[in-house]
A and B are shown apart, each in its own frame.
Chain A
């Protein structure tokens, strides 16, 4: 923690703003000279590096949710596995930018693997021939290691993940994000500005306390101009394995994800039911779709994946026309 000692004035206008270094709050700030010189406002050279590195990556998808624990990482793993299994010629990679709570190594079943450095950059860890993963989890010495970093360090790590990983040629790069609308999200979107983001998949659970944060995330997407591919509702209904009756564990008192999508004019991609076996497969890093092919989750997932593919490839065409 000692490495970033930033005493920021209470009303700091932000280093990127026009008032940087000139506002009254800047008086006495140790960074005032840097800010007023305009140095902080220059375009980050990382943006170009990222663009170059990701030239051979066709679609970049962000998995977002304002709320934690709604299933971003689970859905990331399901979507990426399904995309890879659907067509063996399709190359898919996952980048886990949840720096403080990386879950992908466990969920994709590659816990304890290591990342190797080569002349062309970091080699990601391969789960299948056409599915690879990069996560800070691979760089930690032990499972109990905490990443106690403030924003700027997280920003640097995300930049390295985007510019220094040797992904090869990819059809889909899926970014799993932490909850919130802060450093990780801003870093990812700003570094991907030149490379382009295909769109975001927004994950929610049905109850209002989750929707509340998800609306904030959608507001974020609108502010930074990321198109939203669609909303996925997770943990919808629970079907008791004994009596087969369905129960609402997280009651959709305000209409859940479907109503949210309708209100905000975003496509609703579907509801994924709560299946305890899915949680277990994630814990054990198993491929849910091959382990439990008869689960209602798989039935919902297939059309969802097809729709995502359809929308992504369509976006590509329309942007080509625009050019």
Chain B
């Protein structure tokens, strides 16, 4: 399983809508910019967002003698993507599946996709601590998993669920690379007043409480949302933004700890 993959990084959060898929895509794009060959696997089967975020909707997965050929996001074939979104006939179709069927699909994603010479495989997950997560964790036991990047938003209601995800990682032995706090503060485009719409500091407080590295605070920036579906790295589109800085640091952290 995953023979051609050197490192695996999970993107997790107990809470939905906090930006897991945005972080996953940006992480993948930034690693690619840094010269690595990257794979991005979307195991959110009921709500796949990766094809949309990378502007790859409507692309098809092909079957080869070796297995499923992922969709490449670039011509140099340095970013390979796999998502159930590529297998649906219509983008509005719901995937109404119970756990066992989801488990089967994820196993296939892990065993049957031809990831060739990938330096980093980023796995984007749905919210929760259930079938998808248990399946990924069980199957990664035989593969070395570098760890998980945990995404949260600052408000207590999100931190509650993310704390449960930390417990999941601890119980199942997945190392935590760190916590990212997303949607922290909004700077008014008219008067530059910063409002903490979803409060602030919750992610940092959580990181301190559970003693894992705090990777940074990402403010709400509608420009990011607008660029989100263009499939471009934030390092290229907004190189001086806070977000770009956080991702540079994140990449540094991920690549440094692995090279040793």
Contact = CB atoms under 8 A, between A and B. Distances in A.
Given A6-B100, A181-B46, A216-B92, A208 B157 contact: no
B157 A283 contact: yes
Contacts of A249: 186, 197, 220, 222, 225
Contacts of A299: none
Contacts of B134: 1, 148, 150
Nearest to B47: A213
A116 to B, nearest CB: 23
Contacts, number: 230
Interface in B28-80: 45-47, 49, 52-53
B230 to A, nearest CB: 12
Contacts of A6: 99-100, 103
A73 B157 contact: yes
Interface in B83-116: 91-104, 107-108
Contact of B94 (A10, A11, A209, A223): A223
A227 B47 CA distance: 21
A23 B20 CA distance: 38
B171 interface: yes
Nearest to B161: A101
Interface in A70-114: 70, 73, 99-101, 103, 106-107
Contacts of A240: 188, 190-191, 193, 195
B49 A212 contact: yes
A107 B156 CA distance: 10
Contacts of B49: 209, 212-213
Interface stretch (B1-9, B10-18, B240-248): B10-18
Contact of B130 (A150, A186, A241): A150
B188 A147 contact: no
A216 B94 contact: yes
Contacts of A250: 222, 225
Contacts of B157: 73, 103, 106-107, 279, 282-283
B198 interface: yes
Contacts of B94: 66, 181, 216-220, 223
Contacts of A210: 17
B128 interface: yes
A220 B15 CA distance: 22
Given A146-B129, A279-B155, A280-B199, A186 B188 contact: no
A130 to B, nearest CB: 24
Q: Which of A107, A253, A276 has the most CB of B within 10 A?
A: A276
Contact of B96 (A9, A181, A209, A283): A181
B225 A103 contact: no
A149 B197 CA distance: 33
Contacts of B155: 279-280, 282-283
A183 interface: yes
B49 to A, nearest CB: 5
A283 B198 CA distance: 9
Interface stretch (B141-149, B162-170, B252-260): B162-170
A243 B188 contact: yes
A67 to B, nearest CB: 6
A151 B220 CA distance: 34
B127 interface: yes
A144 B222 contact: no
Q: Which of A101, A143, A213 has the most CB of B within 10 A?
A: A101
B196 interface: yes
Contact of B153 (A69, A103, A185, A208): A69
Interface string A4-17: 00101111101000
B218 interface: no
A243 B193 CA distance: 8
Contact of B15 (A68, A99, A218, A238): A68
A247 interface: yes
A255 B55 CA distance: 19
Given A14-B98, A178-B127, 15 more contacts: A10-B107, A68-B16, A101-B164, A144-B166, A146-B171, A178-B128, A179-B47, A180-B47, A181-B94, A183-B131, A209-B53, A212-B52, A215-B91, A251-B226, A282-B155
17 contacts: A6-B100, A6-B103, A8-B103, A66-B94, A100-B14, A101-B14, A106-B156, A106-B160, A146-B14, A146-B167, A146-B168, A150-B99, A181-B95, A209-B53, A215-B91, A216-B94, A240-B193
